[in-house]
Structure 1
Amino acid sequence: MKKLSEKEIIELMNKKKNRSEDVEIFKLGNEQCAVCVDTLVESTDIPKCSKLSDISRKSVVSSLSDFASKGIIPKFCIISLTLPKTISKKQVQELSKGFSKVCKEFKIQLLGGDTNQGNEISIHVVLFGNVKNFIRRNDAKVKDVICTTGPFGYTASALEIIMKKRKSVQSFSTKSKNLFFKPKPRLKFGQESLNYITSSMDSSDGLSSCLNELSNQSKKKFLITKIPTNDDVIEFAEKNKISLNRLVFDGGEEFELVFTVTPKNLKKIHTLAKKNKISIFEIGHVSKGNGVFFDDGNDSFIIKDKGWQHFR
């Protein structure tokens, strides 16, 4: 029997819907609200060297990043925990510390939740927010510029260093691990750029997955002409004989925004990015057709969806 992928499972569950979004919009009286849910599981999402306070913070950041891609303001969250009966008081306090920190950092009210016993740590976060307007994944236009809010490759490099003991200079190792364990959702930028972006998605599952999803939903061809990374990532890849494209396109866990914008709004986007101390990478453009392709004049290839998927 063929194994189902995460995307196939989602498609089966959503077969009555004509779109796929990580955030759902609904009306509550006269108010338009947003909700999203995310789950973090110890065996698949938590490296053994992790601090539990970082992990609990990151579990909420994952949902915040989805809100950032839509320009939504977060307000409330509910958190459900599954914990092994061997967990210590100190470990529970570390988890609580991370939740308190992230809620204070982003002005979210923790309403409560549920606690259960299980074989490993599992964190389920439900995030609620207010919506006036929001950005979809399916509105990319021909001639739009494809952008990201930051460089890619650091989080995948961090996992190579942690899991496979890859060689790196200390400064690069520290930088990569910080970006992996302490990500910063682009919440303010997403909210402020809401009216200038045509389509958007958060990159937590990997840049290749993100680009293919935006392309598929918009029914447009995405041509990538620049790899969004920095020299130190290139040096790390070369030193360890790792594919740079794999680190950049297929790594995941970046929590950056990948979005499209009309050329006339590019200047405004760069102004907002500078205000929020974010680097914008212009990596390609949208055209008629379908699929995601790379061509920088020296190299060309199809960018397939090889990002993170459960059940793959």
Structure 2
Amino acid sequence: MSIGGVGEGGLIEVIRSIAGLSEDNDLEYVELNGKLLTMKIDGIAITTSKMPFMNYYDMGWKVMAAIASDFLVKLSKPLFVVTSLTLRREMPMEDFRDLVRGLSEGAHYFGMKYLGGDLNEGNDYIIDAAALGIAMSGKITRSPRVGDVVVTNPNFGYTGLVFKLFYQGSLDNYMNNELVRRGIEILRRPKPNLNLLGELSRLSQCISASMDSSDGLGKVLWTLSRNGHVRIVVDELPTTQELIEGVEQMGLDIDELVFNGGEEFTPVFSIRSECLGDFERLGFKAFARVLEGDGVFYRNSLLRYRGWDYFTGWH
């Protein structure tokens, strides 16, 4: 059997088994001299990640945004980041400069100091970034409590719209559509709001679980359900009425775009219900409940969308 037959989730389980790791999380926690440090490594391959409307600056920024998003959902402040770049020798110098500018300026935007790193030659363009930070609260897992509500920023579906149109070969026909333009801007310049760290850290006792949405909201919900051994019931789509109406006019399925989008780099928190008002003041909205049982349900049926999995794709 090849790794393609196992999928990303199965391969992570193999890594955890061999390395003796107890759990999978957005960040790794390390206790050192009384401090709770947080670490993250993330990477992309240009050939599978760069869309036609993106340049190399965008790719550098995207890597830093992905790092920042994972720190945000665990209420951790990223401090330092290094990269390992694998490049083909025929890469134009201007593209190289754009990539490094994207990495450097993206790191600065999210409050990290970019320390450079490693450079290699290969047959593809690979960007890996590793960051070190400090937790502003205790450790946060992926295991929700029964009785929680699930909250997020209600702007899902815009990136899903771009992906859907791109993969069905019709994106060029909608490049002047305002909804599509918004989705493209999110993909080119994702900006997880690390300015919320202070306020969120003061609400840390409200949070039982959290995840970043980069692999799709469906994957987040199924992961939370599995890890917490709970039933998650989605009451409404965390999106805008504008998008719902626009997608309907295009003849697309809004459920698919919301649950199977990805790369929104948006935090999803499972919180105590009595804390909802505090999170609403920060721009979050409740869209699901955590109950006893198992599985993820929407409109009285099991949620069919399960997000992105490397080596197998959307499912």
Normalising by structure 2, we get a TM-score of 0.90
2:254 aligned residue: 244
Alignment of 1:131-280 (within 5 A): 131-163=135-167, 164-166=169-171, 167-168=173-174, 170-194=177-201, 195=204, 196-271=206-281, 273=282, 279-280=283-284
User: Equivalent of 1:8, from 7, 10, 13?
Assistant: 10
1:97 aligned residue: 101
Question: Is 1:108 matched up with 2:118?
Answer: no
1:128 aligned residue: 132
Q: CA deviation at 1:244?
A: 1.4
From the superposition, tell whether residues 18 and 132 of structure 1 become closer, same or farther in structure 2 (CA, over 3 Å).
same
Q: CA deviation at 1:104?
A: 1.8
From the superposition, tell whether residues 197 and 30 of structure 1 become closer, same or farther in structure 2 (CA, over 3 Å).
closer
What letter is aligned with 2:233? L
Query: Are the counterparts in 1 of residues 85 and 126 from structure 2 also a CA contact under 8 Å?
Result: yes
1:276 aligned residue: none
From the superposition, tell whether residues 305 and 157 of structure 1 become closer, same or farther in structure 2 (CA, over 3 Å).
closer
SS at match of 2:301: strand
SS at match of 1:90: helix
Rounded Cα–Cα distance in structure 1 between residues aligned with 2:225 and 2:55: 37
Rounded Cα–Cα distance in structure 1 between residues aligned with 2:96 and 2:61: 13
From the superposition, tell whether residues 133 and 244 of structure 1 become closer, same or farther in structure 2 (CA, over 3 Å).
same
Q: CA deviation at 1:289?
A: 0.7
What letter is aligned with 1:306? R
Rounded Cα–Cα distance in structure 2 between residues aligned with 1:78 and 1:34: 14
Query: Are the counterparts in 2 of residues 137 and 218 from structure 1 also a CA contact under 8 Å?
Result: no
What letter is aligned with 2:63? S
Alignment of 1:8-47 (within 5 A): 8-15=10-17, 16-47=20-51
Deviation string for 1:76-102 (max 9, x for gaps)? 001110111111110011011111211
2:311 aligned residue: 311
The sequence identity of aligned pairs, in percent, is 27
Larger mean CA deviation between 156-165 and 51-60 belongs to 156-165
Rounded Cα–Cα distance in structure 2 between residues aligned with 1:153 and 1:138: 23
1:78 aligned residue: 82
From the superposition, tell whether residues 229 and 135 of structure 1 become closer, same or farther in structure 2 (CA, over 3 Å).
farther
Q: CA deviation at 1:229?
A: 1.3
What letter is aligned with 1:310? Y
Question: Is 1:119 matched up with 2:123?
Answer: yes
Rounded Cα–Cα distance in structure 2 between residues aligned with 1:21 and 1:85: 36
SS at match of 2:308: coil
Query: Are the counterparts in 2 of residues 212 and 305 from structure 1 also a CA contact under 8 Å?
Result: no
The count of residues paired between Structure 1 and Structure 2 equals: 302
From the superposition, tell whether residues 262 and 72 of structure 1 become closer, same or farther in structure 2 (CA, over 3 Å).
same
Q: CA deviation at 1:251?
A: 1.3
Rounded Cα–Cα distance in structure 1 between residues aligned with 2:198 and 2:62: 20
Structure 1 residue runs of 5 or longer lacking an equivalent are: 274-278
User: Equivalent of 1:69, from 63, 73, 76?
Assistant: 73
Query: Are the counterparts in 2 of residues 207 and 250 from structure 1 also a CA contact under 8 Å?
Result: yes
Larger mean CA deviation between 135-144 and 61-70 belongs to 135-144
From the superposition, tell whether residues 189 and 12 of structure 1 become closer, same or farther in structure 2 (CA, over 3 Å).
same
SS at match of 1:284: strand
What letter is aligned with 2:303? I
Query: Are the counterparts in 2 of residues 146 and 258 from structure 1 also a CA contact under 8 Å?
Result: yes
